[in-house]
């Protein structure tokens, strides 16, 4: 099988591991920098050109689209979809997952457990917003933040009010969330492939830090997940339409709550914490499902509908 890994950097751990795992399973693996692809979208025969050569005869792609490159990255993924190339995560699902607010609305509609959350732009009604989530302490998040930057814990009502006012001055979109104190500065990363949780890790924030991000000095170990946590992660990935997803949960006293569903979850942390060959499992899933594209059946809907779990 000929598989393209859409990644800006062939030296990243995740990219290297996917390439290696694919080769070990006998596939022809190529790393393609999607920012250097251009597309012919006008002809009857859609094509993608990369470094002057058309990308042809690929059976599958593995999109690893950077958060800041979502617009162009998903356009490239979409072009492969038009060419009937299998993608475990489709362009639409990737775009959906990149919008934190939209993701939460989708998860809420599907009845997936979430922290009580309020959303606002430049609201005048700060008191009302704070009340929505049950008052202080609460967490305030910039909608555009990543890696824990722009995530603030406000311990008191007054602090919450000041931070919201400050963000309002920046004309930013914000989420206001109940603070899950009982999580104790830890979260769970559940790695979902093809509707199954194949690995789980617990990340613990550094001493005195409520954010568990590894980039902020947290550490990770393998997690023993409860049946409810596994079920929540699977339902969250499914609601987002993602076959490969990193679902981040907090252990709250009202059950597991989803914070985020990531469509390009990193492999380094999870493979080293658990010793599981996550890259190998991704390739196995793709091998099993891309085979179907050899006889495309447009009458039965999209690839998403035809995917085997
Ligand atoms: P980012 O996407 O920037 O990493 P997150 O929303 O994942 O931001 O928040 C970063 C970290 O902060 C999380 O991993 C979690 O440990 C902690 N955190 C976020 N929201 C809450 C909350 N409502 N209650 C308790 N801890 C939280």
Cα(279) to ligand 1 centroid in Å equals: 26
Cα(153) to ligand 1 centroid in Å equals: 10
Q: Which residue in the block uniquely carries the two structure tokens 């722009």?
A: 150
Sequence-ordered alpha helix ranges (H) in 57-154? 70-82, 91-98, 100-109, 126-132
Rounded distance, CA 192 to CA 19, Å? 19
258 alpha carbon, distance to own chain's centre:
12
Rounded distance, CA 30 to CA 51, Å? 13
Residue 167 pLDDT > 90: no
pLDDT of residue 279: 98
Cα(262) to ligand 1 centroid in Å equals: 13
Show the ligand 1 pocket: residues with CB < 6 angstroms.
Answer: 115, 139, 141, 145-148, 151, 177, 179-180, 183, 187, 205, 210-213, 248, 250, 259-260
Give, rounded to a whole angstrom, the gap between the first and last alpha carbons of the chain: 20
pLDDT per residue as tens digits for the range 52-91: 999 999 999 999 999 899 999 999 999 999 999 999 999 9
Nearest atom (ligand 1) to Cα of 139 = 23
Mapping DSSP to helix (H, G, I), strand (E, B) and coil, where does residue 25 land? coil
Residue 304 pLDDT > 50: no
φ, ψ of residue 195 to 5 degrees: the values are 80, 15
Cα(309) to ligand 1 centroid in Å equals: 30
Q: Angle between the 227-240 and 91-98 helix axes, to the nearest 10 degrees?
A: 110
pLDDT per residue as tens digits for the range 1-26: 999 999 999 999 999 999 999 999 99
Indicate the top mutation candidate among 98, 103, 151, 188 to test ligand 1's pocket, ranked by most ligand atoms within 8 A of CB: 151
Beta-bridged to residue 204, according to DSSP, are 186, 219
Domains and CATH numbers, the chain: 2-96 (3.40.50.20), 117-179 (3.30.1490.20), 182-285 (3.30.470.20)
Specify the residue with its C-alpha closest to ligand 1, atom 19.
Answer: 211
Q: Which residue in the block uniquely carries the two structure tokens 């990340």?
A: 203
Query: Nearest CA to 218 among 228, 209, 226, 231?
Result: 209
Cα(217) to ligand 1 centroid in Å equals: 14
306 pLDDT tier (thresholds 50, 70, 90): very low
């Amino acid at each position: 099988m000929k598989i393209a890994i859409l990644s800006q950097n062939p030296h990243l751990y995740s990219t290297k591991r996917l390439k290696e795992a694919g080769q070990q399973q006998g596939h022809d693996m190529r790393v393609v920098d999607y920012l250097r692809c251009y597309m012919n979208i006008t002809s009857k025969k859609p094509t993608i050109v990369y470094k002057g050569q058309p990308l042809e005869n690929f059976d599958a792609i593995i999109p690893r689209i950077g958060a800041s490159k979502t617009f162009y990255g998903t356009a490239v993924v979409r072009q492969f979809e038009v060419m009937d190339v299998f993608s475990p995560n489709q362009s639409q699902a990737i775009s959906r997952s990149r919008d934190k607010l939209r993701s939460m609305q989708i998860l809420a509609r599907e009845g997936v457990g979430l922290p009580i959350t309020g959303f606002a732009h430049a609201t005048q009604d700060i008191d009302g917003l704070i009340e929505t989530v049950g008052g202080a302490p609460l967490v305030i998040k910039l909608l555009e933040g990543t890696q824990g930057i722009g995530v603030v814990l406000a311990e008191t009502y007054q602090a919450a009010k000041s931070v919201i006012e400050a963000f309002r001055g920046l004309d930013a979109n914000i989420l206001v969330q109940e603070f899950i104190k009982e999580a104790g500065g830890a979260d769970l990363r559940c790695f979902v492939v093809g509707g199954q949780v194949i690995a789980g890790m617990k990340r613990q924030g550094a001493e005195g830090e409520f954010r568990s991000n590894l980039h902020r000095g947290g550490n990770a170990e393998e997690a023993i997940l409860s049946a409810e946590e596994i079920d929540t992660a699977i339902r969250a990935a499914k609601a987002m339409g993602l076959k490969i997803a990193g679902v981040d949960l907090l252990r709250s006293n009202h059950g597991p709550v989803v914070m985020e569903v990531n469509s390009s979850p990193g492999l380094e942390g999870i493979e080293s914490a658990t010793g599981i060959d996550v890259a190998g499992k991704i390739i196995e899933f793709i091998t099993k499902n891309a085979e179907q594209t050899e006889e495309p059946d447009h009458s039965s809907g999209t690839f998403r509908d035809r995917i085997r779990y």
